[in-house]
Amino acid sequence: MMVAVFATMSLALICGWFDRRLMAVALLVLCLTLSIGLFLFEIYSPETGFRMPWIQTEFEPVPTQA
């Protein structure tokens, strides 16, 4: 996946250099989409994802003692 991200970015830059604007922009958008997908995979994957249990991002009611 990371290879695809860098490949599309490299091609976008090369196409941009050779004035193939439409192709370059299409590749850039593809690269952005792949990057966001990979980022979400990295942070949410149950196997290799990076979890941050020390940061509370959702409301959790604190149990109260009677």
Partner 1 sequence: MTASDQTVVSQRLLAMLNYGYLLLVMLIIAAILSAAMTLQYANGELPCPLCLLERVAMFGVCFGIMMNFRRGFSYQNTGFSLLFAIVLLVVAVRQSLLDIYPRPGHEYIGSAIFGIHMPVWSIIIALCLLTAYAIKLAILGGDEYLRAADVTEFPAIKKAADVLSVYVIALCVINLVSVVLQCGLGECHTFNYKLLQ
Give me the 2-41 binding string for partner 1, x by CB under 8 A, dash otherwise.
xx-xxx-xx-xxx-xx-x-x--xx--x--xx--xx-xx--
Q: Is 1 one of the binding residues for partner 1 (CB under 8 A)? A: yes
Length, in residues, of the chain: 66
Identify which of residues 22 and 66 has a Cβ nearer to partner 1 in the complex.
22
How far is residue 61 from each of residues 7, 39, 58, 65, measured CA to CA in Å? 46, 30, 10, 12
What is d(CA 35, CA 2) in angstroms, rounded to the nearest whole number?
A: 8
Among 22, 55, 62, 66, binds partner 1 (CB under 8 A): 55
